[in-house]
């Protein structure tokens, strides 16, 4: 399967290198499954935003033949690159010859400029999501997921999410077992479902300015099975319930204590499903969710997949590389 990754001056190096290594590693498990090519507006050296240089052998205009997967890298220079009509026209031409098209990070803005995301649901780095939505109102922008598949168009969130996207493409092509083997081979986090938020629960809110609340978040995330009701948390923080709820919500950017606890428990359940063989009633008990029915409801709300399906797809099994 021919994979063409498009880069440009100022591209994010990991947007290219992460997916390229995923496809290359997959070819170790399924011999020669992928043939990866890197192209740019002009052949020769292309400087990444971090200062390293990649030398490409083919330009956008010189590439011929059919393409299985066309993938576009993002980077800080995307606002300048999208003004280059030759680049956008080149993407349109290549996309017409590709079975599927994908973007990593702010590369979605280049796909949108080429009209390839019109009428589609798409994601991008959360910092670029507002710009994508405002500049391209015909695109249904969802800034939360790690990656989104809409028909033959795939888009992903920022930087390392490109690895998740590439693993999802490998899973679609070669099966989930191969994708898991690739993840283990690269020693990366087992490939996450696209519906998962770009942020883990602790990352989803800014660090509270008050030390008692910072310590409380650590306690919540480390002890999901404890009594994490508002009265119990308020007592631990040394505040009245009403004052605690108000301060917590203010410090967390609008997330109530109950909502944070639920997200933290859903995150803990996800980790147990990946790393253990505990039955669902045990997972529910260990994460403070009580019973499998509550686990199912909360898990679906936060990860957009059932606990059983998540485990079937992402449970880690011992394997040598």
Tell whether 194 is covered by a domain: no
Tell whether 297 is covered by a domain: yes
Q: For position 293, which CATH number holds?
A: 1.10.10.60
Range of the structural domain that residue 214 is part of? 203-314
Task: Give the confidence band of 217 by pLDDT, cuts at 50, 70, 90.
Answer: confident
- The tens digit of pLDDT for each residue in 184-205 reads 888 886 555 555 555 455 545 5
* Active-site entry in 105, 108, 129, 305: 105
Residue 308 backbone phi and psi in degrees, to 5: -65, -45
Cα–Cα distance measured from residue 223 to residue 217, given in angstroms and rounded to the nearest whole number = 10
Instruction: Identify whether 67 is a catalytic site residue.
Output: no
CB atoms within 10 A of CB 113: 22
- Using the 3D structure, point to which of 186, 216, 235 is the last residue of a domain: 186
Best CA proximity match to 56, nearest among 5, 111, 110: 5
- Using the 3D structure, point to which of 135, 159, 186 is the last residue of a domain: 186
Q: Mean pLDDT throughout 53-72?
A: 96
> What pLDDT, on a 0 to 100 scale, did the predictor assign at position 292?
95
Tell whether 271 is covered by a domain: yes
- For 141-145, the CB contacts below 8 A with 24+ separation are 143/198, 144/197, 144/198, 145/194, 145/195, 145/196, 145/197, 145/198
Residue 180 and residue 39 share a domain? yes
Residue 304 and residue 227 share a domain? yes
Tell whether 196 is covered by a domain: no
C-beta separation of 94 from 67 below 8 A = yes
Residue 150 and residue 38 share a domain? yes
Mean pLDDT of the chain, nearest integer:
89
Q: For position 150, which CATH number holds?
A: 3.40.50.880
Residue 283 and residue 207 share a domain? yes
Residue 179 and residue 215 share a domain? no
Encode burial over 283-318: b for 16+ CB neighbours within 10 A, e otherwise: bbbbbbbeebeebbebbbebbebebeebbebbeeee
Residue 64 and residue 108 share a domain? yes
Tell whether 77 is covered by a domain: yes
> What pLDDT, on a 0 to 100 scale, did the predictor assign at position 65?
95
Tell whether 294 is covered by a domain: yes
Residue 172 and residue 48 share a domain? yes
Select, from the ranges 216-220, 227-231, 247-251, 309-313, the one with the highest average predicted confidence (pLDDT): 227-231
Residue 208 and residue 175 share a domain? no
Tell whether 197 is covered by a domain: no
Q: Mean pLDDT throughout 247-251?
A: 89
Residue 8 and residue 105 share a domain? yes
Tell whether 47 is covered by a domain: yes
Query: Which residues are CB-neighbours of 141 under 8 A, at least 6 positions away?
Result: 122, 123, 124, 129, 132, 133
> What pLDDT, on a 0 to 100 scale, did the predictor assign at position 21?
97
pTM (two decimals): 0.69
Residue 118 and residue 13 share a domain? yes
Count of the separate structural domains present in the chain: 2
- Using the 3D structure, point to which of 186, 211, 227 is the last residue of a domain: 186
Residue 227 and residue 142 share a domain? no
Q: In the predicted model, is pLDDT for residue 70 greater than 70?
A: yes
Residue 35 and residue 181 share a domain? yes
């Amino acid at each position: 399967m021919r994979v063409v990754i498009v880069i440009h001056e100022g591209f994010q190096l990991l947007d290219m290198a992460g997916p390229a290594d995923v496809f290359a590693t997959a070819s170790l498990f399924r011999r020669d499954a992928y043939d990866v090519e890197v192209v740019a507006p002009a052949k020769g050296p292309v400087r990444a935003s971090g200062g390293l240089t990649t030398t490409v052998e083919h330009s956008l205009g010189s590439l011929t033949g059919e393409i299985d997967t066309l993938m576009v890298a993002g980077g800080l220079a995307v606002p300048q690159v999208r003004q280059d009509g030759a680049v956008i026209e080149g993407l349109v031409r290549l996309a017409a010859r590709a079975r599927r098209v994908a973007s990593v990070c702010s590369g979605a803005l280049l796909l949108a400029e080429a009209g390839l995301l019109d009428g589609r649901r798409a994601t991008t780095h959360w910092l670029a999501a507002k710009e994508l939505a405002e500049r391209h109102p015909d695109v249904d922008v969802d800034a939360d997921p790690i990656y989104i598949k809409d028909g033959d168009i795939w888009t992903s969130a920022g930087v390392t999410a490109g690895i998740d996207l590439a693993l999802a493409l490998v899973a679609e092509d070669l099966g989930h077992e191969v994708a898991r083997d690739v993840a283990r081979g690269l020693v990366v986090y087992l490939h996450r479902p696209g519906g998962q938020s770009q942020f883990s629960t602790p990352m989803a809110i800014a660090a509270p300015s008050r030390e008692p609340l910072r310590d409380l978040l650590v306690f919540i995330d480390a002890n999901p099975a404890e009594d994490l009701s508002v009265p119990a948390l308020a007592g631990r923080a040394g505040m009245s319930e009403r004052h605690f709820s108000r301060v917590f919500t203010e410090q967390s950017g609008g997330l109530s204590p109950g909502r944070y606890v639920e997200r933290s428990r859903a995150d803990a359940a996800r980790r147990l499903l990946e790393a253990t063989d505990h039955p669902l009633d045990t997972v529910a008990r260990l994460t403070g969710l009580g019973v499998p029915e509550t686990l199912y409801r909360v898990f679906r709300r936060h990860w957009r997949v059932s606990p059983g399906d998540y485990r079937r797809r992402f449970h880690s099994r011992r394997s040598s590389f």
